[in-house]
């Protein structure tokens, strides 16, 4: 695997961050993003490796093999990750598949020179071969464990499940608080053959820019929607994971990053100076008798800001609301419930279906927008995750007219679980459906009215185009 600026690939921060670069795992932002305490390693079962530690040797190097019943601190994140996947992952996956993915993660290390004893943990029998591979790939047991966890998440699970090292967790928490250091671009990765999400950049898995945040370095540098990213700092990104790309693009304010871009068949380099900027999660404006609310992200305080902006618009006597969620990559489920509840007096906002259960998330029961006030929601292909939850339920309840383009189509729910090394596993635990059972995972939310409302238009123009697009469904948008 290619590396940039680090001698060993596993030392790179792995973070999915929508403001430097990605929707969901793509996205950083997911419907559920709650940290929990580390899970204790599972008790011995038929899946466990030998209960007693054993010593072995391969390639002239000794190895001490342990099972999860007697795991040591430097390698226990492997048992924690294995246990979390077994208990919470949305789909069934075999031990052999997980062990193979862990071995793939070890390959990213590029080989070891150490001859000292390696401690390796095998949570199930197929991992015995993975530990043999670790002898020639990892310098230490801790390095092997982190590579195995990275491999299980990256190569064994869906594109929205990811291992976050301790530094990545810090950056993610910084992002959720709304202050970012980076370039301010939103990207996604899609397989050009299947059209599905992908995570390992290749000839067919292509990473491209969806939009830039106004006033950020990416915007100033002239990056455009549909620009393809081919390289970072002069290195081809083929073989990298999406989060490796985003983490490498992100960096301290004032430092430079060089992106190799392909646009309309032309390839060129763009040097961008990173900056620190505050994410404006919510903006609002009065246009005539219409209140405009731009909701840019479902951060941890976006619901409070949203309520404040909406209440201010109502106090100014607006007769309808335009809610703009274009290029909003999602965020926290709690925030999405609060936003939807501003319009809905009762009922559920979303239903999640996991391996063994279904969970409904009801409204708060405290709507602030009058029931007879018309609402228009604007979305596009960059609207993902929590944005889709809100737009889908308002459409399904006939509470709003949705205009724009089909949304991204992210129907999975992630939860972040803390690991004992202060890193975390972000794991897909469920798929979401609307309260009536509609699944928009493949095509996204289909708008009531298709409309091409371009990015970076003045607010007044956006409102006018939204109102014009919705005129054929005036019964939803005109006040009673």
- Shared-domain flag, residues 155 and 295: no
Q: Give me 440's structure tokens.
A: 């928009």
SS (H, E, C) 94-105: CHHHHHHHHHHH
Residue 2 lies in a domain: no
Question: Is 148 inside any structural domain?
Answer: yes
388 bridge partner residues: none
Question: 252-282: per-residue pLDDT in tens?
Answer: 899 999 999 999 999 999 999 999 877 788 9
| Angle (CA) 131 35 384, round 5° | 100
104 and 242 belong to one structural domain? no
| Contacts with 475 (C-beta within 8 Å, 6 or more apart), sequence order | none
Residues 450 and 323 placed together within one structural domain of the fold: yes
**376 and 433 belong to one structural domain:** yes
Distance CA 206, CA 333 (A): 28
| The pLDDT of residue 178 | 55
Q: What is the mean pLDDT of residues 108-124?
A: 90
Q: Where are the beta strands (DSSP E) in 10-80?
A: 54-58, 61-66
Q: Does residue 9 belong to any structural domain of this protein?
A: no
Same-domain pairing of 305 and 389: yes
Residue 4 resides in a domain: no
Number of domains in the chain: 3
**Is residue 465 in a domain?**
yes
Residues 131, 258, single domain; the answer is no
What's the confidence (pLDDT) of residue 267? Answer: 97
Q: Are residues 349 and 212 in the same domain?
A: no
Least confident of 40-44, 190-194, 219-223, 321-325: 40-44
Q: What is the pLDDT of residue 177?
A: 58
Q: For position 332, what pLDDT does the model report?
A: 87
Q: Quick one: pLDDT at residue 473?
A: 58
pLDDT band at residue 54 using 50, 70 and 90 as cut-offs? very low
Same domain, 369 and 435: yes
State the DSSP H helix or E strand holding residue 186, giving kind and residue range, or none if neither: strand 185-191
| Position with higher pLDDT, 450 vs 33 | 450
Task: Compute the distance between CA of residue 40 and CA of residue 87 in angstroms, rounded to an integer.
Answer: 12
435 domain residue, yes or no? yes
Nearest to 162 by CA among 223, 233, 101: 101
Q: Are residues 351 and 322 in the same domain?
A: yes
Which domain covers residue 247, as residue numbers?
Answer: 167-277
Residues 236 and 290 both lie in one domain: no
Residue 421: which CATH number? 3.90.226.10
* One domain, residues 196 and 129: no
| Domain boundary pick from 120, 137, 159 | 159
The C-alpha atoms of residue 298 and residue 75 are separated, in whole angstroms, by: 35
Straight-line distance from the first to the last Cα atom of the chain, in angstroms, rounded to the nearest whole number: 60
Predicted confidence (pLDDT) per residue in 407-464, tens digit: 988 888 888 999 999 999 999 999 989 999 998 887 899 999 999 998 778 999 999 9
In a 13 Å sphere around the CA of 66, the CA atoms on its Cβ side amount to 20
Query: Stretch 99-110: mean pLDDT, rounded?
Result: 93
Last residue of a domain, one of 277, 302, 317: 277
What pTM does this model have?
0.70
Residues 426 and 332 in one domain: yes
Q: What's the rounded mean pLDDT across residues 95-107?
A: 96
Q: Is residue 29 part of a domain?
A: no
Q: Is residue 398 part of a domain?
A: yes
Among 12-16, 20-24, 240-244, 473-477, the range with the most confident prediction by mean pLDDT is 240-244
* Structure tokens given for 296: 């840019």
* Residue at a domain's end among 225, 248, 277: 277
Cα dihedral: 156, 159, 161, 162 (round 10): 90
pLDDT at position 330 is 87
């Amino acid at each position: 695997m290619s590396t940039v600026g680090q001698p060993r690939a596993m030392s790179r921060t792995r973070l999915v961050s929508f403001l430097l670069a990605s929707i969901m795992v793509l996205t950083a932002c997911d419907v559920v993003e709650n940290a929990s305490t580390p899970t204790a390693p599972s008790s011995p079962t038929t899946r466990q490796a030998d209960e007693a530690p054993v010593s072995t040797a391969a390639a002239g190097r000794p190895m001490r093999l342990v099972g999860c019943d007697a795991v040591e601190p430097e390698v226990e994140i492997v048992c924690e990750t294995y246990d979390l996947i077994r208990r919470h992952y949305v789909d069934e996956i075999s031990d052999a598949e997980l062990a193979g993915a862990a071995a793939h993660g070890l390959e990213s290390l590029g080989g070891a020179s150490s001859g000292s004893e390696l401690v390796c943990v095998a949570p199930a029998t197929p991992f015995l071969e993975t530990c043999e591979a670790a002898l020639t790939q990892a310098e230490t047991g801790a390095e092997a464990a982190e590579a195995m966890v990275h491999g299980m998440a990256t190569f064994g699970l869906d594109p929205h499940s990811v291992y976050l090292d301790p530094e990545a967790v810090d950056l993610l928490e910084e992002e959720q608080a709304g202050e970012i250091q980076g370039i301010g671009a939103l990207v996604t990765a899609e397989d050009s053959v299947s059209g599905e999400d992908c995570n390992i950049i290749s000839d067919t898995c292509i990473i491209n820019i969806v939009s830039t945040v106004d006033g950020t370095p990416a915007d100033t540098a002239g990056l455009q929607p549909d620009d393809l990213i081919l390289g970072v700092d002069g290195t081809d990104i083929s073989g990298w994971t999406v989060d490796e790309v985003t983490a490498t693009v992100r960096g301290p304010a004032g430092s430079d990053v060089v992106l190799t871009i392909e646009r309309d068949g032309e390839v060129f380099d763009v040097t961008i100076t990173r900056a620190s900027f505050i994410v404006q999660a919510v903006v609002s404006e009065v246009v005539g008798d219409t209140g405009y609310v731009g909701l840019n992200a479902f951060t941890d305080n976006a619901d409070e800001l949203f309520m404040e902006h909406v209440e201010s618009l109502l106090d100014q006597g607006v007769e309808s609301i335009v809610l703009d969620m274009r290029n909003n990559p999602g965020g926290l489920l709690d925030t999405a419930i609060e936003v939807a509840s501003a319009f809905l007096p009762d009922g559920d906002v979303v239903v999640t279906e996991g391996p063994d259960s279904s969970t409904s998330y009801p409204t708060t029961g405290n709507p602030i927008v009058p029931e007879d006030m018309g609402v228009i929601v604007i979305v596009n292909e960059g609207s993902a995750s929590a944005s889709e939850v809100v737009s889908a339920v308002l459409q399904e309840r006939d509470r709003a007219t949705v205009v724009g383009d089909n949304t991204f189509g992210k129907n999975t729910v992630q939860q972040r679980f803390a690991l004992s090394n202060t890193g975390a596993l972000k794991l897909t635990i469920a798929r979401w459906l609307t309260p009536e059972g509609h699944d928009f995972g493949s095509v996204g939310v289909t708008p009531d009215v298709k409309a091409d409302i371009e990015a970076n238009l003045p607010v007044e123009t956006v409102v006018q185009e939204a109102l014009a697009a919705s005129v054929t469904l005036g019964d939803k948008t005109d006040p009673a």
